[in-house]
Amino acid sequence: MSEPEIQDQTLWCTVNGQTVERKVESRLLLSDFIRHELNLTGTHVGCEHGVCGSCTVLVEGKSMRSCLMLAIQAQGLEIHTVESLGKVKHLHPLQESFREHHGLQCGFCTPGFLMTAIDMAQSGKSFTRAEIKEGLSGNLCRCTGYQGIINAVAHYFEQIGILQTQESGDSL
Ligand code: FES
Ligand code: FES
């Protein structure tokens, strides 16, 4: 028996402030749409099972693992990828902080950490260092040992006034 033909569907959404419209297969993952259809390769794909967090983007301002979402589910939604942050010659302050605090080595995990931290920064809450660790705990890094990443995010949160330092032993 031949397999039923999969119909393409028209997807329109906003990515990094630009409206995009494409015909997509209904089974296409959002991560593959972003990387292969839009050539936004800053979004990395590691596990493809929702475990590593490297594919994290913002969907309607909330961090989302783009490997766990179909592209067509983004119909009408606003997506931001790591490319919406800084450029090489004009880094976002969070990216500057990662550079300053050695928050990356190979960089594979970095876009996911950045987008997760941006979601936290935009949440309207403030965070202790322990809460930063907890907030980032769903993202995996094989290189850094995490201290540089935590330091980088804590420094950025301090810069924007959302780092709580009153806990005993909770300092940069
Ligand atoms: S590639 Fe999506 S969570 Fe690992
Ligand atoms: S910097 Fe290499 S995986 Fe995190």
Residues 141-169: tens digit of each pLDDT: 999 999 999 999 999 999 999 999 865 44
pLDDT at 168: 46
d(CA 103, CA 151): 8
pLDDT at residue number 6: 72
Q: Where are the alpha helices (DSSP H) in 47-146?
A: 93-100, 110-121, 129-135
Q: Which residues are paired to 65 by β-bridges?
A: 56
Q: What is the pLDDT of residue 165?
A: 86
Ligand 1 binding pocket mutation candidate from 33, 35, 44, 47 (most atoms within 8 A of CB): 47
- How many residues appear in the chain? 172
Statement: residue 85 has pLDDT above 70: yes
pLDDT at 7: 81
Kindly tell me if the per-residue pLDDT of 46 is higher than 50. Answer: yes
Q: Ligand 1 centroid to 140 CA: how many Å? A: 10
Is the overall model pTM greater than 0.85, yes or no?
yes
Average pLDDT over residues 76-98: 97
* CB of 107 shorter than 6 A to ligand 2: yes
